Amino acid sequence: MDSHIVVAIDGYSSCGKSTLAKALARELHFIYVDSGAMYRAVALYFIRNQIDPNNNSQVLEALKNIHLNFHSRDYETHVTLNDEEVSSEIRLMPVSENVSTVAAIKEVRHEMVKQQQRMGRSKNIVMDGRDIGTAVFPNAQIKIFMTADPKVRAERRLRELLPKNPTITLEEIFENLAHRDYQDTTRLESPLVRAHDAIILDNTDLTQQEQLLFALSIVEPFLEKK
């Protein structure tokens, strides 16, 4: 058994995975990796360069030209795409609307998973995403699968997006979340599914502090064993 610890947090879009993952990483002094940011950066490249997700040779060529870099500052993931900081742009609607399609492409997933596994090889990490406990780190010691009521998720996301996008509506967000959930759970390549050994965390009625305490209670026995 490896001496370092991997905490895998998976779940639906806008369930608060990254909020919990960041808080947990801060508390434990682990590295936080936001795997969704990687798919978002690839989607941004596809949009900017008009890459057709159905055109395999275009996709392969694009992947050769995409260089992603990550650095964590204050437990925020800063992403550069070919040396340009894109951390804010990847959160905007055009990327959110296209990212699930891009994330469903087999070749894209293989490349991202390879990079993610490299990041978790030698350090204690908390990584959140859709396939972390199933495909990226099937042997992770701690797996949490997050879920919450779709309406509550859309309302939380609205509060997050309004400052940057004052015209956005609850309906738009609700539809985007439903669409992404559908694509993420029905795609052929490592769809979003709960790992059989993941602990379910439904946070519909939980505060952030309650979720953190719950997650810490799962991780702590592993820290003692080290």
Residues at the contact surface with ligand DC, assessed by CB under 6 A: 13, 35-36, 39-40, 99-100, 103, 129-132, 180, 184
Nearer to ligand DC, 6 or 103 (CB): 103
Is the CB of residue 145 less than 8 Å from the CB of residue 200? yes
Q: What distance in Å separates the CA atoms of residue 102 and residue 52, rounded to the nearest whole number? A: 9
| 3-state percent breakdown (helix, strand, coil) of the chain, nearest 5 | 50, 15, 30
87 vs 100, beta carbon nearer ligand DC: 100
- Whether residue 130 contacts residue 13, with contact meaning beta carbons closer than 8 Å, is answered with no
For Cα atoms 22, 162, 212, give the angle at the middle one, nearest 5 degrees. Answer: 20
Return the number of the residue (28 or 129) whose C-beta is nearest ligand DC: 129
Least distance between ligand DC and beta carbon 177 (Å):
9
Nearer to ligand DC, 99 or 201 (CB): 99
Give the shortest CB-7-to-ligand DC separation in angstroms.
Answer: 14
Query: What's the min distance (Å) between Cβ of 202 and ligand DC?
Result: 18
Q: How far apart (Å, rounded) are the C-alpha atoms in residues 145 and 42? A: 25
Neighbours of 27 (CB within 10 A): 14
At its nearest, how many Å lie between ligand DC and the CB of residue 167? 21
What is the distance between the alpha carbons of residues 42 and 99, in angstroms, rounded to a whole number?
8
Please identify, using beta-carbon distances, which residue of 162 and 223 lies nearer to ligand DC.
162
We find the least distance from the C-beta atom of residue 40 to ligand DC, in angstroms, to be 5
